């Protein structure tokens, strides 16, 4: 696993590199850069699985990079002195927020989360970044009806019928999406806010009817979880 | 023009004067003022006082100016047709005479007033005004009041004797003659209350321009009706009369001096010294050379009202106050020109009470406005002090520094110890600066250098501030240079600032101090609109109201901030 550290303070950068290397051991390799431009170059040239990002870099707002980062395939952990921006960072879909100054243990927790994304089933994101020709656009998750796996990508179906493509896989997204999004099929995550009814047919066949009139298949393995999430059990 | 205020003060004045006149004139038709005669009295051959005038005595109509010079003994006689009214027994007379007197009503002796004497030693002074209930009228159809009087204790050469006899129903003379003074007492009480309120408001505060003059004017305004009312309300022995008249004249002259002096001070009208001296001389000459006390007072007051009006017309601003005062002064001038005697006998001090009361209230409002302004300044200073402290411990800088400190503690404890010392010094300087309105440039520079030292330790590169200044004692609002240094570090970044040192140049151009700070420009957008700039502008506005300029912008590879202060320092 390759993780990029973006931090402008040399001593803090040194601390992040040292502690991350000690904590991750051979599970990950770390690179560190001091500014957003270099970070952008690195992210374009190399494949990274995670990003440790400071929000204020030499007067520049790290949220610019954060919006791009959360739209990418890698996950992002914010390491920042701006504790008041933690909620905003989570809403943008970051995996964790480590406030400065940080202990070895706290950094270790965030790193574990980054190294083992699959273990974490829900986050606190309110938006998802979507790549567009003009840059990154933010999509409000409340407007997403369902998300379908599309190879290494995910297809987002919006309430108005539009579809958007996201760089993260369905498993990757599960770690940052709020609990409203529940797996109903091995290829689908559904937003419970838009579910109208759960139907059962002959031969233990189940499907969901959505508020807009659309339908989604329900896998047998996910029926029990879905009934629990809908408070039917 | 502040019409409402003008109408209000005039309405108060008209109401007071109308109330005064209403009670004064209510019984005017029932009061009969007699015309009299006078003649010198001859001492008897036995060297004693006569008990009746000789038959061949030469009576002449009373000439008040001649009578004023008589010391005594002398005869006065007033005659009137006998009363035919059914309540004849309820009549009384009021005799005003500056002397001791023995009264005879239709030949019958009445209760005397003091003891008439051939010399000052023999005479016991009587009251200046006496009232006596009259016996029934004479059946002959004519009443006569005969008075033997002497005035040996008259110390001052008065212009007029003002000898007077008035006959009226007893209830009028004993009760109602004092009623107008109730109005005067109310006006005086209101003025005293306003004066006390003003004193309480002024207590413990710095004096406003003209505050003492106004208080002196107020004291005169209270003293005038007191001295005026002494005669009708309490009465006194006639030798006091001259003293009372001089006291009244002194009060009128004092009011005539104080009123324009206060107005000139209050509204900042520059008066040439020669003009002031000429005015004071004119007042003194009027008070000394003119014939009677009434004329002296009237002229002094007229001069005062005219001078005050001229001053108000020359003053600028504060129309809300000036025009109502001017309206009162014009009302006074008109009253003085058309009815000087009546005006001086009462309405004058009502006018003075209304005028001084209005001035007191205006002054008090000004004090209150100043209080509010000072409170706002205190609040502003407290807010700036808080902002300075908050900026000194702003999370981004502090948390990053603490994270650096964590790393140094684990990796380089000696450097960590030095960083802790620098942080302690920084907080100490911030605490010290935040409690003051201004700090010398040297202290502000020490704060900046300390901050740069901390950043340099975290960066492991020295950060420098070069200073070109002759006077390091120049007072500055605390934190203004510190905020500029912080801005540069935040927006250009510490690395850029380490590569391009800060350079401060302080120079003086006549009344202007110019502080120019250059630092690395950096590449961050939207610089110069944040909390740092707002803090600098608010601090300069609080310390140098309307006498500061602050500008900043890119200049080549530099970011240049410029503070310009206009000050007497």
Q: Show residues of chain A in contact with B406, CB under 8 Å.
A: 15, 101-102
Average pLDDT over residues B376-381: 84
Does any CB of chain A come closer than 8 Å to the CB of residue B440? no
Q: Show residues of chain B in contact with A84, CB under 8 Å.
A: 395
| Inside any domain, residue A211 | yes
| Inside any domain, residue A134 | no
| Inside any domain, residue A215 | yes
Predicted local confidence at residue B450, as pLDDT: 95
A9, A34, A103, best to mutate vs chain B, most B CBs in 10 Å = A9
Predicted local confidence at residue B410, as pLDDT: 92
Q: Residues A223, A226, A231, CA angle at the centre, nearest 5°?
A: 125
For residue B392, pLDDT beyond 80: no
- Indicate if A86 and A158 belong to the same structural domain: no
> B533: how many CB neighbours lie within 10 A of its CB?
17
- Indicate if A111 and A146 belong to the same structural domain: no
Tokens of B167: 């006959």
Distance of CA B173 to the CA centre of its chain: 39
User: How many Å apart are CA A26 and CA A32, to the nearest integer?
Assistant: 17
Predicted local confidence at residue B437, as pLDDT: 85
Predicted local confidence at residue B39, as pLDDT: 93
Average pLDDT over residues B121-142: 86
Considering CB atoms only, which of B410, B411, B493 is closest to A8? B493
Considering CB atoms only, which of B402, B410, B459 is closest to A10? B459
- Preceding amide of B291 cis, omega within 30: no
Q: Among A99, A115, A131, where does a domain finish?
A: A115
Does any CB of chain A come closer than 8 Å to the CB of residue B405? yes
User: How many Å apart are CA A38 and CA A8, to the nearest integer?
Assistant: 11
- Indicate if A222 and A174 belong to the same structural domain: yes
Average pLDDT over residues A163-185: 86
Tokens of B425: 């010094």
For residue B231, pLDDT beyond 80: yes
For residue B405, pLDDT beyond 90: yes
Which of the given ranges, A109-123, A144-158, B389-403, B519-533, has the highest pLDDT on average?
A144-158
Closest CA to B243 of B156, B159, B163: B156
| Inside any domain, residue A199 | yes
Average pLDDT over residues A76-82: 89
pLDDT digits (tens, 9 = 90+) for B13-26: 888 888 888 887 87
DSSP E strands: which ranges in B111-162? Answer: 129-133, 142-150
Site of tokens 């960066």: B459
Site of tokens 């030469």: B58
For residue A155, pLDDT beyond 80: yes
Does any CB of chain A come closer than 8 Å to the CB of residue B500? no
Q: Which residue has the higher pLDDT, A89 or A233?
A: A89
For residue B569, pLDDT beyond 60: no
Considering CB atoms only, which of A9, A18, A83 is closest to B395? A83
Q: How would you write A110-140 as a 3-class SS string?
A: HHHHHHCHHHCCCCCCCEEEEEECCEEEEEE
Test A34 with B405 for CB contact under 8 angstroms.
no
Does any CB of chain A come closer than 8 Å to the CB of residue B456? no
pLDDT band at A57 (very low <50, low <70, confident <90, very high): low
User: How many Å apart are CA B335 and CA B279, to the nearest integer?
Assistant: 22
Give the structural domain span for A165. Answer: 142-229
| Inside any domain, residue A125 | no
Share of chain B above pLDDT 90, in %: 33
Test B407 with A100 for CB contact under 8 angstroms.
no
- Preceding amide of B113 cis, omega within 30: no
Cβ(B196)–Cβ(B130) under 8 Å?
Answer: no
Q: How far is A15 from chain B (nearest CA, A)?
A: 6
- Helix, coil or strand: residue A7: coil
- In total, chain A counts a number of residues equal to 233
CATH number of the domain to which A71 belongs: 3.40.50.2300
User: How many Å apart are CA B432 and CA B443, to the nearest integer?
Assistant: 10
pLDDT digits (tens, 9 = 90+) for B192-220: 888 888 788 777 776 677 888 888 988 99
Predicted local confidence at residue A145, as pLDDT: 93
- Indicate if A99 and A7 belong to the same structural domain: yes
Considering CB atoms only, which of B396, B460, B495 is closest to A82? B396
Q: Among A72, A100, A115, where does a domain finish?
A: A115
pLDDT digits (tens, 9 = 90+) for B257-316: 999 999 998 888 888 889 999 999 999 999 989 888 888 988 999 999 999 999 999 988
Predicted local confidence at residue A119, as pLDDT: 63
pLDDT band at B246 (very low <50, low <70, confident <90, very high): very high
- Crossing angle of helices B395-411/B441-459, nearest 10°? 50
Q: Which of A13-27, B44-58, B92-106 has the lowest mean pLDDT?
A: B44-58
Predicted local confidence at residue B87, as pLDDT: 59
- Indicate if A192 and A146 belong to the same structural domain: yes
User: How many Å apart are CA A157 and CA A188, to the nearest integer?
Assistant: 11
Considering CB atoms only, which of A57, A83, A102 is closest to B403? A102
Average pLDDT over all residues of chain A: 85
- Indicate if A34 and A90 belong to the same structural domain: yes
User: How many Å apart are CA A82 and CA B300, to the nearest integer?
Assistant: 76
Predicted local confidence at residue B115, as pLDDT: 92
Q: Show residues of chain B in contact with A56, CB under 8 Å.
A: 396
For residue A39, pLDDT beyond 90: no
Total number of domains in chain A: 2
Predicted local confidence at residue A104, as pLDDT: 93
pLDDT band at B354 (very low <50, low <70, confident <90, very high): confident
Q: Among A62, A97, A115, where does a domain finish?
A: A115
Test A101 with B458 for CB contact under 8 angstroms.
no
* Residues in a beta bridge with B404: none
Cβ(A156)–Cβ(A131) under 8 Å?
Answer: no
- Indicate if A106 and A182 belong to the same structural domain: no
User: How many Å apart are CA B502 and CA A56, to the nearest integer?
Assistant: 22
Average pLDDT over all residues of chain B: 86
Q: Show residues of chain B in contact with A101, CB under 8 Å.
A: 399, 402-403, 405-406
- Helix, coil or strand: residue B558: strand
- Indicate if A108 and A209 belong to the same structural domain: no
Test A12 with B403 for CB contact under 8 angstroms.
yes
User: How many Å apart are CA A130 and CA A232, to the nearest integer?
Assistant: 34
Q: Residues A218, A221, A226, CA angle at the centre, nearest 5°?
A: 55
Q: Which residues of A touch B (CB under 8 A)?
A: 8-12, 14-15, 18, 34, 56-60, 81-84, 99-102
Which of the given ranges, A41-55, B135-149, B436-450, has the highest pLDDT on average?
B436-450
Q: Which of A6-15, A93-102, B427-436, B523-532 has the lowest mean pLDDT?
A: B523-532
Question: What is the chain A residue with the closest CA to B520?
Answer: A58
pTM: 0.56
Cβ(B470)–Cβ(B513) under 8 Å?
Answer: no
CATH number of the domain to which A200 belongs: 2.40.50.1020
Average pLDDT over residues A114-141: 75
Predicted local confidence at residue B434, as pLDDT: 85
> B566: how many CB neighbours lie within 10 A of its CB?
13
Test A58 with B495 for CB contact under 8 angstroms.
yes
| Inside any domain, residue A212 | yes
Q: Which residue has the higher pLDDT, A233 or B501?
A: B501
Cβ-Cβ contacts under 8 Å for B374 (sequence gap 6 or more): none
B403, B499, B528, best to mutate vs chain A, most A CBs in 10 Å = B403
Give the CA-trace dihedral at B362, B366, B371, B372, to 10 degrees.
Answer: 100
Distance of CA B10 to the CA centre of its chain: 20
- Indicate if A168 and A213 belong to the same structural domain: yes
Cβ-Cβ contacts under 8 Å for B553 (sequence gap 6 or more): B528, B559, B560
Predicted local confidence at residue B388, as pLDDT: 76
| Inside any domain, residue A137 | no
Predicted local confidence at residue B85, as pLDDT: 67
pLDDT digits (tens, 9 = 90+) for B311-331: 999 988 888 888 899 999 999
Predicted local confidence at residue B89, as pLDDT: 59
Under DSSP, the state recorded for A8 is: S
pLDDT digits (tens, 9 = 90+) for B145-198: 999 999 999 887 788 888 999 888 888 887 767 777 888 888 888 888 888 887
Tokens of B403: 């994270």
pLDDT band at B568 (very low <50, low <70, confident <90, very high): low
Q: How far is A58 from chain B (nearest CA, A)?
A: 4
| Inside any domain, residue A19 | yes
Does any CB of chain A come closer than 8 Å to the CB of residue B58? no
Q: Which of A88-102, A120-134, A170-184 has the lowest mean pLDDT?
A: A120-134
Average pLDDT over residues B453-479: 91
Considering CB atoms only, which of A34, A59, A100 is closest to B400? A100
Does any CB of chain A come closer than 8 Å to the CB of residue B462? no
User: How many Å apart are CA B229 and CA B219, to the nearest integer?
Assistant: 16
- Indicate if A109 and A160 belong to the same structural domain: no
- Indicate if A172 and A81 belong to the same structural domain: no
> B554: how many CB neighbours lie within 10 A of its CB?
12
Q: Which of B209-218, B379-388, B422-431, B523-532 has the lowest mean pLDDT?
A: B523-532
CB-side neighbour CA atoms (13 Å) of B497: 32
Cβ-Cβ contacts under 8 Å for A88 (sequence gap 6 or more): A63
- Indicate if A111 and A20 belong to the same structural domain: yes
Q: How far is A59 from chain B (nearest CA, A)?
A: 4
Q: How would you write B277-303 as a 3-class SS string?
A: HHHHHHHHHHHHHCCCHHHHHHHHHHH
Cβ-Cβ contacts under 8 Å for B274 (sequence gap 6 or more): none
pLDDT digits (tens, 9 = 90+) for B543-562: 888 889 999 988 888 899 99
For residue A118, pLDDT beyond 80: no
Q: Which residue has the higher pLDDT, A232 or B412?
A: B412
- B residues 210-269 lying closer than 8 A (beta carbon) to A: none
Give the CA-trace dihedral at B545, B548, B553, B558, to 10 degrees.
Answer: -130
């Amino acid at each position: 696993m390759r993780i990029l550290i973006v931090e402008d303070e040399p001593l803090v950068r040194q601390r992040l590199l040292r502690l991350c290397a000690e904590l991750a051991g051979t599970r990950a390799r770390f690179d560190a850069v001091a500014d957003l431009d270099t970070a952008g170059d690195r992210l374009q040239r190399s494949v990274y699985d995670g990003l440790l990002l400071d929000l204020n870099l030499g007067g520049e707002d790290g949220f610019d990079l954060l919006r791009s980062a959360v739209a990418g395939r890698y996950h992002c952990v914010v390491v920042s002195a701006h504790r008041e921006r933690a909620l905003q960072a989570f809403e943008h879909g970051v995996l964790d927020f480590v406030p400065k100054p940080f202990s070895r243990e706290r950094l270790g927790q965030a790193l574990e989360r980054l190294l083992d994304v699959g273990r974490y089933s829900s986050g606190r994101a309110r938006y998802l970044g979507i790549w567009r020709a003009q840059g990154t656009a933010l999509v409000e998750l409340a407007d997403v009806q369902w998300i379908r796996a599309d190879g290494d990508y995910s297809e987002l179906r919006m309430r108005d019928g539009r579809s958007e493509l996201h760089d993260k896989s369905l498993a990757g997204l599960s770690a940052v999406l709020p609990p409203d999004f529940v797996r109903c099929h091995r290829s689908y995550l559904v937003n419970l806010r838009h579910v109208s009814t759960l139907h059962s047919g002959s031969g233990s066949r189940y499907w969901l009817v959505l508020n807009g009139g659309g339908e989604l298949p329900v896998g047998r393995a996910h029926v029990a979880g879905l009934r629990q999430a809908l408070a039917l059990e | 023009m502040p019409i409402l205020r003008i109408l209000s003060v005039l309405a108060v004045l008209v109401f007071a004067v109308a109330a005064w006149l209403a009670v004064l004139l209510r019984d005017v038709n029932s009061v009969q003022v007699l015309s009299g005669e006078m003649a010198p009295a001859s001492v008897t051959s036995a060297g004693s006082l006569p008990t009746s005038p000789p038959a061949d005595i030469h009576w002449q109509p009373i000439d008040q100016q001649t009578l004023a010079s008589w010391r005594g003994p002398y005869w006065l006689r007033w005659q009137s047709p006998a009363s035919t009214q059914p309540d004849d027994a309820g009549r009384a007379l009021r005799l005003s005479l500056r002397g001791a007197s023995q009264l005879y009503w239709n030949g019958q002796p009445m209760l005397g007033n003091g003891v008439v004497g051939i010399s000052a030693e023999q005479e016991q002074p009587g009251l200046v005004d006496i009232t006596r209930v009259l016996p029934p009228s004479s059946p002959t159809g004519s009443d006569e009041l005969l008075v033997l009087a002497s005035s040996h204790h008259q110390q001052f050469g008065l212009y007029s004797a003002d000898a007077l006899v008035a006959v009226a129903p007893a209830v009028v003379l004993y009760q109602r003659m004092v009623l107008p003074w109730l109005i005067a007492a109310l006006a005086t009480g209101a003025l005293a209350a306003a004066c006390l309120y003003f004193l309480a408001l002024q207590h413990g505060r710095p004096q406003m321009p003209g505050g003492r003059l106004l208080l002196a004017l107020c004291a005169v305004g209270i003293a005038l009706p007191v001295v005026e009312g002494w005669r009708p309300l309490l009465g006194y022995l006639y030798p006091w009369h001259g003293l009372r008249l001089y006291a009244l004249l002194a009060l009128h002259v004092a009011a005539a001096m104080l009123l324009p002096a206060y107005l000139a001070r209050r509204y900042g009208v520059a008066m040439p010294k020669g003009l002031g001296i000429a005015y004071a001389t004119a007042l003194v000459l009027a008070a000394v050379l003119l014939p009677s006390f009434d004329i002296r007072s009237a002229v002094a007051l007229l001069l005062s009202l005219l001078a005050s009006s001229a001053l108000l017309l020359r003053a600028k601003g504060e129309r809300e106050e000036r025009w109502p005062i001017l309206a009162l002064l014009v009302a006074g001038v008109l009253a003085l020109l058309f009815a000087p005697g009546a005006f001086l006998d009462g309405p004058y001090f009502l006018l003075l009470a209304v005028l001084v009361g209005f001035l007191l209230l205006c002054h008090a409002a000004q004090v209150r406005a100043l209080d509010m302004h000072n409170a706002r300044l205190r609040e502003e200073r407290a807010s700036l002090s808080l902002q300075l402290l908050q900026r000194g411990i702003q999370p981004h800088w502090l948390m990053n520094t603490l994270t650096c400190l964590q790393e140094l503690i684990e990796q380089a404890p000696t450097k960590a110890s030095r960083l802790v010392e620098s942080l302690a010094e920084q907080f100490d300087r911030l605490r010290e600066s935040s409690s003051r309105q201004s700090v010398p440039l040297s202290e502000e520079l020490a704060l900046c250098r300390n901050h740069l030292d901390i950043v340099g330790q975290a960066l492991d590169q020295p950060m420098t501030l070069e200073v070109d200044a002759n006077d390091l004692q120049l007072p500055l609002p605390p934190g203004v240079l510190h905020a500029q240094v912080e801005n540069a570090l935040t927006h250009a970044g510490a690395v850029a600032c380490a590569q391009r040192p800060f350079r401060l140049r302080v120079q003086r151009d006549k009344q202007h101090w110019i502080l120019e700070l250059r630092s690395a420009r950096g590449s961050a957008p939207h610089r110069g609109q944040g909390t740092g700039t707002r803090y600098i502008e608010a601090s300069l506005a609080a310390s140098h109201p309307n006498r500061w300029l602050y500008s900043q912008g890119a200049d080549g590879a530099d970011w240049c901030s410029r503070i310009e202060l206009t000050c007497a320092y």
